[in-house]
A = this chain, B = another copy of it.
């Protein structure tokens, strides 16, 4: 691949002129400009973005740290980010980190090494201190779906506790008193408060949740199946089920059906996330909606604008709401 010097030589001009042409700069004669353009075309030259970045001291793209892309929740997040990036003509440099603290750290470090000025991080495993340390050098680093006091201006997050309470309240309102719980495994325990908040609210409403009806499993469809299997094996009765998210809810429902139990006939089930999935299955899933895409958009815009002026807190702290569909019914 030719360099700017090769082009300069071939065109019989200096690298400076070629550079001007590349960047549509002024101060190049019409004829020289056209000649240079022609040569560039002919030789198939394209400027080396790395060399450019070294001079510019920054990069236009946004760096993204996410666990993976297959989980619909992350996919929705990534989609929102992608939208904003595309609109701004920015690329996305993605580092997925397969659910370990170490790879999460490496992902962020790599982004820093590339001198990305805009970074969106969804961290599940790193501790506050470490994130604070890493964020220090980049004002355009924002945390998504997480709140850290010291980094409050760079955070965008859900009110997961409220979501948890909504689940609890709805089931109790529908007359359920024997409620099982399927929690999602998540490395960093405080990553989500939705399940603890739900249980707490249940207790407050006078519903005791016995440890035997609380299962923990990977936060996906298969995890939901396994958890439900264990739940059924324990023989504890329950008329309703709280789940960590929609995929788990759907997995649990599949297992219930497989064991000859009907939803919502025998067991009411409530999900979380309101993914597209939730509206496709039968019965349509009652679930908690939160603004995943909107959150991603706000986060990305903050990152790209280097948070010169973070949006008001109401714009960054998203409240969920209940979406009532068919998977929860009044207790007979």
Tell me the A residues contacting B by CB distance below 8 Å.
1, 44, 46-51, 53-54, 59, 61, 68-70, 72, 75-76, 78-79, 82, 85-86, 91-98, 103, 107, 109-110, 112-115, 136-137, 221, 250, 254, 276-277, 280-282
Please report the C-alpha to C-alpha distance between residue A79 and residue B47 in the assembled complex, in whole angstroms: 30
Task: Tell me the number of copies of this protein.
Answer: 2
Check A86/B76 contact, CB under 8 A, given A49-B115, A137-B1, A282-B281: no
**Min distance, Cβ A292 to any Cβ of chain B, angstroms:** 11
Q: Which residues of B contact A68 (CB under 8 A)?
A: 79, 82
Please report the C-alpha to C-alpha distance between residue A50 and residue B59 in the assembled complex, in whole angstroms: 10
Please report the C-alpha to C-alpha distance between residue A96 and residue B94 in the assembled complex, in whole angstroms: 12
Chain B residue at smallest Cβ distance from A246:
B280
B46 touches A54 (CB 8 A): no
**Min distance, Cβ A112 to any Cβ of chain B, angstroms:** 6
Q: Which residues of B contact A49 (CB under 8 A)?
A: 110, 113-115
Q: Which residues of B contact A110 (CB under 8 A)?
A: 49, 91
Check A69/B79 contact, CB under 8 A, given A46-B113, A113-B48, A137-B1: yes
**Min distance, Cβ A267 to any Cβ of chain B, angstroms:** 16
B75 touches A69 (CB 8 A): yes
Please report the C-alpha to C-alpha distance between residue A301 and residue B113 in the assembled complex, in whole angstroms: 25
**Min distance, Cβ A224 to any Cβ of chain B, angstroms:** 10
**Min distance, Cβ A222 to any Cβ of chain B, angstroms:** 10
Chain B residue at smallest Cβ distance from A221:
B276
Q: Which residues of B contact A137 (CB under 8 A)?
A: 1, 44
Q: Which residues of B contact A86 (CB under 8 A)?
A: 96-98, 103
Of the residues B51, B53, B82, contact of A96 by C-beta under 8 Å: B82
Of the residues B44, B47, B82, B97, contact of A136 by C-beta under 8 Å: B44
B96 touches A95 (CB 8 A): no
**Min distance, Cβ A269 to any Cβ of chain B, angstroms:** 13
Check A115/B280 contact, CB under 8 A, given A94-B92, A95-B91: no
Q: Which residues of B contact A97 (CB under 8 A)?
A: 86
Q: Which residues of B contact A85 (CB under 8 A)?
A: 96
Please report the C-alpha to C-alpha distance between residue A98 and residue B69 in the assembled complex, in whole angstroms: 18
Chain B residue at smallest Cβ distance from A70:
B79
A54 touches B44 (CB 8 A): no
Of the residues B48, B78, B107, B281, contact of A115 by C-beta under 8 Å: B48
Q: Which residues of B contact A72 (CB under 8 A)?
A: 72, 75
**Min distance, Cβ A2 to any Cβ of chain B, angstroms:** 10
Shortest 7 CB-CB contacts between residues of A and residues of B: A70-B79, A282-B282, A50-B53, A49-B113, A49-B114, A69-B78, A50-B50
**Min distance, Cβ A284 to any Cβ of chain B, angstroms:** 9
B70 touches A75 (CB 8 A): yes
Q: Which residues of B contact A70 (CB under 8 A)?
A: 75-76, 78-79
